[in-house]
Amino acid sequence: MSSVVGFYIPSVSLFGEGAVEEMVKMIKNKGFKRPLIVTDPGIAKIGLSDKVSKLLSNEGLSVSVYDQTQPNPSMKNVKDGLNVLNANICDAVVSIGGGSAHDNAKAIALVATNGGDIQDYEGVNKSQKNSLPLFAINTTAGTASEMTRFTIITHEEKKTKMAIIDNNVTPVVAVNDPATMFGLPPALTAATGMDALTHCVEAFVSTAANPITDACALKGVDLINESLIAAFKNGQDKKARTNMCYAEYLAGMAFNNASLGYVHAIAHQLGGFYHLPHGVCNAVLLPHVQSFNKEDKIANERLAEISIHLGASEKSAEAAIECIHKINRALNMPNNLKDLGVKREDFELLADHAMKDACHATNPIIFKKDEVIAILKQAYEHNSN
């Protein structure tokens, strides 16, 4: 078995107010002529995609737009966006939004150069060619999709989420401008922030963790612990928003290279089956998966280390799990899976699909089906009140 460790991030990442304008200059300077903007109806409604389109047009570029990406983007979203790209002979892609827009844009850019359907690339490094260059403008501090080699696409017929983990979908430029996040609603701030915390925790206890990913994960936890609740309470808090930009990017650096675990493996199924928000699913599942993971000696030690970074008064895995519950309560997260509308009768099917999800492979414990069902049951019945 090879001992070589890879580390993957975009070649350029831009942070701070004015980063969007800087990205536009880069697109022009690189010689692109016909970019496709990929976004969602919400971003289109608030005028952000129009703003970026105008900035690009002012530089003499011919801009096309696909703005129908849905939450938990589907194979249809990929095909529809690809049709717009091909019809306008686009030579680059600009994604604007959170994880859904970026994931859809990655899939469009990948299929544009490799052909076939996005389902052909489910799994790890299935493509042969580079994607079209992707410039990703992030508008939420959570998914880190603007900088990762992950894209998650819903298979409508199977009601499952496909995890495509491919070096070729990594954006060439990632943009985190806190000015795009000041108006983010509290509930979305909370959900995306808990997604980032989940990335940090799962990457830190991952069997593929290394000193670089550890450093990213722990600093990400520090910043989230310092700033997430502040950003939730006051969306105009510039320091908190900026810290969360860095936190979610550090979390992305961690999981993009150490991968994830059973929180995401199960959350993907809940999102695909019930169309639930990904960050909310992660928030509800995170403490329960870790309560099972702590039975592994190394994971137990690592969760204990996380507890200190979450401000616990004692260093233990149990303290880390209680801290996560406490953060969930402060962010008004749902109490359990029952509150999300998950049904007991679906547990077996959800467990089957989770065990096939690529994210499960680096979990500290490779759970058996009855253990996955036990996690679902615990997360379903939990009552923190």
**33 Cβ contact list (under 8 Å, min separation 6):** 61, 62, 91
CATH 1.10.3720.10 fits 12-180, yes or no: no
pTM of the model: 0.93
Distance separating alpha carbons of residues 221 and 256, to the nearest angstrom: 16
Is pLDDT of 205 > 80? yes
All CATH 3.40.50.1970 domain ranges in the chain, comma separated: 12-180
**Please, are residues 173 and 187 in contact by the beta-carbon 8 Å criterion?**
no
> Using one digit for the tens of pLDDT, what is the confidence trace for 275-291?
999 999 999 999 999 99
Is pLDDT of 1 > 80? no
Q: Which of 256, 70, 90, 250 is nearest to 176 (CA)?
A: 250
Distance separating alpha carbons of residues 296 and 363, to the nearest angstrom: 10
All CATH 1.20.1090.10 domain ranges in the chain, comma separated: 186-381
> Using one digit for the tens of pLDDT, what is the confidence trace for 29-83?
999 999 999 999 999 999 999 999 999 999 999 999 999 999 989 999 999 999 9
Distance separating alpha carbons of residues 145 and 288, to the nearest angstrom: 24
Is pLDDT of 385 > 70? no
What dotted CATH number matches 186-381?
1.20.1090.10
C-alpha gyration radius of the chain: 20
